[in-house]
Amino acid sequence: MKLSKSRHILLSAKQIHKEYQVNRAQILRVLKNIEISVHEGEILAIVGHSGAGKSTLLHILGTLDRPTQGHVFLYKTDIFKMTDIQLAHFRNQHIGFVFQFHHLLPEFTAIENVAMPGLILRKSEDEAMARANLLLQQVGLDKRLYHRPRELSGGEQQRVAFARALMNDPKIILADEPSGNLDLKNSEALHQLMWELVRRTGKTFVVVTHNHELADKADRVIELMDGQIKSKM
Summarised one tens digit per residue, pLDDT across range 192-204 is 888 888 888 888 9
Domain that holds residue 147: 42-66+82-232
**Mean pLDDT comparison of 49-53, 118-122, 191-195, 197-201, highest-scoring range:** 118-122
pLDDT for the residue 231: 64
Is 28 among the domain residues?
A: no
**Domain assignment present for 9:** no
Task: Report the distance separating Cα 30 and Cα 227, nearest Å.
Answer: 5
Q: Say how far apart CA 164 and CA 56 lie, in whole Å.
A: 22
Domain contains 37: no
Per-residue CA distances from 146 to 79, 125, 173 (Å): 36, 16, 25
pLDDT, tens digit (0-9, with 9 covering 90-100), for 18-44: 988 878 778 888 899 999 999 998 999
| Structure letter (DSSP) for residue 71 | E
Does the residue 205 lie in any domain?
Answer: yes
Q: Is residue 17 part of a domain?
A: no
In a domain, 106, yes or no: yes
The crossing angle, in degrees rounded to 10, of helices 110-120 and 125-138 is 130
CA-nearest of 36, 44, 45, 42 to 211 is: 45
Q: Give bridge partners of residue 26 from the DSSP assignment.
A: 23
* pLDDT the model gives residue 71: 93
* pLDDT tens digits along 168-211: 999 899 998 877 777 777 778 888 888 888 888 888 999 998 87
The domain that holds 171 is classified in CATH as 3.40.50.300
Residue 225 lies in a domain: yes
Residue among 230, 62, 96, 87 nearest 170 (CA): 96
Q: What is the mean pLDDT of residues 219-223?
A: 91
Range 51-58 average pLDDT: 88
2 pLDDT higher than 70:
no
pLDDT band at 151 (very low <50, low <70, confident <90, very high): very high
Task: Look over the chain and give the mean of its residue pLDDT values, rounded to a whole number.
Answer: 87
The total of structural domains in the chain comes to 1
Task: Name the region of 211 (left: φ>0; alpha: ψ -120 to 50; beta: rest).
Answer: beta
With cut-offs at 50, 70 and 90, classify the pLDDT of residue 215.
confident
Gap between the Cα atoms of 148 and 24, Å rounded: 46
On the question of pLDDT at 5 being above 70, the answer is: no
Q: Which residues contact 209 (CB under 8 A, 6 or more apart)?
A: 45, 46, 47, 175, 177, 178, 179, 180, 215
Inter-residue long-range contacts of 126-131, CB under 8 Å, 24+ positions, other chains counted: 128/167, 131/167
pLDDT at 17 over 80: yes
Over 50: is that where the pLDDT of 4 sits?
no
